[in-house]
Structure 1
């Protein structure tokens, strides 16, 4: 792939994901908070629902959501934010999730252990005859089951309480398709859309998140055989390189080609279902 090819694709991808390299984070906080408020008013719903993992993305989205519902109460007194803790058994970085909740101070917090439901689903599939290549393959599929069980719980709460589910996707994850389709990729509102990972960190800091969460090494923590596997190890490229790619800066050719190949391979995650 030539330098010109990479340069052209950088522009296409950044435009597709609505990346804004020079955005003022304070302005973005206000704009995205207003977006959440507007969605409550226009949809007739009165609460926002979000799973809090203890990572910088969910912390940022949670801080935005709580601020939004507090401002929305001027016209919608019943507006509230419901944070959800969705551990699979015991979460290894549970202290980080508690720190996030302490910073967010949500109106309500529900804790739902997804382990029984996730285990039951995998057991039922295997009893039906589903086989895996090996234990690593089984563990990977189970990771996606966990992600989808978390979204089942969030939508159940939203359905019961008249709410909208918030997703935590941002541009660095979107370009890599680094989320589970119909799992953490399923949501009603995506307030962090278009932001690079660095911009999300800046937003978290501006909103008052503790430094330990702002600078935390990101991990999806879905695989039991590789607990706390960092996103960057799983992706094979650093978030710094992804951010530079998205903002049109020069990156190592091997990083650019990995990002572009992954963007192409995961296109189905960013698209509506195909039709004849």
Structure 2
């Protein structure tokens, strides 16, 4: 990336133009305490349009909550067009769990409940979006959205527009640093925050974002010169890319032939 300042200006202008063409009033962003949502909310704030930041903990690690709150406070101090709501969804999530029938499929249950957290947050974002005529701004980056599919379908993947989805994770960090996003977020290990513990994205995927970024750029290259770790990372990338195609491809439609 030659000029992060010009990229920032491009994204801000794109957000502003899309908002005006759609006839919507502003943006709503879920702020998690991570780098992606921090950058997205800051870019939205730079448009001058109203921005509503939602902090929605569900059995969240305390450091994730504090980072989110610190970032929102920084945004509100810097931008008069930013407001926020802090809404604990823990009780909603627990109440939902109490309704579920018993199951012996523990591993599948834990993953399903992790995705349920993301979908509860999406529902909350769209409540406020409809209330205020705001657009839900997505926080996914290029590796997550188009590389390994590391997001929840109809959870954090359920958005109106994706301002940072063409940015690699390293570029997200670069733009966040350029904009002065708080150090605690810039230095935090990336995590999706869906498990109620301190597991990182690397713990879940088995590779760092830098490694996956390398794999995305080199997936078609010959492997004879790769190290054993590079071969392992390519294998991880290819596996995730393949198994998550259902997220990245359009919903299949059963087309009825005119002859029927």
TM-score of Structure 1 vs Structure 2, range by shorter chain = 0.7 to 0.9
Match of 2:137 in 1: 166
Residues 1:56 and 2:46 are matched in the alignment: no
Aligned residue in 2 for 1:7: none
TM-score by length of 2: 0.87
Match of 1:216, SS state, is coil
* 1:122 lines up with 2:97 in the alignment: yes
Check conservation: 2:192, 2:200, Cα contact below 8 A.
Answer: yes
Distance 2:60 2:170 in 1: 29
Q: Secondary structure at the match of 1:229?
A: coil
How many residue pairs end up in the alignment? Answer: 240
For 1:155, what is the secondary structure of its paired residue? helix
- Residue 133 and residue 169 in structure 1: after superposition, are their counterparts in 2 closer, same or farther (change >3 A)? same
CA 1:221–1:46 in structure 2 vs 1: closer, same or farther (change >3 Å)?
Answer: same
Partners of 1:59 and 1:104 within 8 A in 2: no
The answer on whether the counterparts of 1:55 and 1:218 sit within 8 Å (CA) in structure 2 is: yes
Is 1:153 aligned to residue 124 of structure 2? yes
Which structure has more RCO (C-alpha within 8 Å, separation ≥ 6)?
A: 1
Offset at residue 92 of structure 1 (A):
2.0
TM-score with structure 1 setting the length: 0.82
Measured against aligned partners, the alpha-carbon deviations of 1:56-109 in whole angstroms (never above 9, x if no partner) come to 0000001101111x1xxxxxxxx3000001011454222211221133226210
* Bigger mean CA deviation after superposition, 206-215 or 80-89: 206-215
Q: CA deviation at 1:119?
A: 2.0
2:23 to 44, 61, 67: 44
Helix, strand or coil at the partner of 2:53: strand
Structure 2 residue runs of 5 or longer lacking an equivalent are 255-260
Aligned position for 2:44: 65
**Partners of 1:148 and 1:182 within 8 A in 2:** yes
Matches within 5 A, 1:1-276: 22=1, 24-68=3-47, 70=48, 79-89=49-59, 91-93=61-63, 94-105=65-76, 107-126=82-101, 131-134=103-106, 136-174=107-145, 175-224=147-196, 227-248=197-218, 252-276=230-254
Quote the Cα distance in structure 2 between the aligned partners of 1:23 and 1:35: 19
Unaligned runs of at least 5 residues, structure 1: 1-21, 71-78
SS in 2 for 1:84: strand
Does structure 2 conserve the Cα–Cα contact (< 8 Å) formed by 1:88 and 1:114? Answer: yes
Q: CA deviation at 1:272?
A: 1.8
When structure 1 is superposed on structure 2, of 204-213 and 91-100 the one drifting more is: 91-100
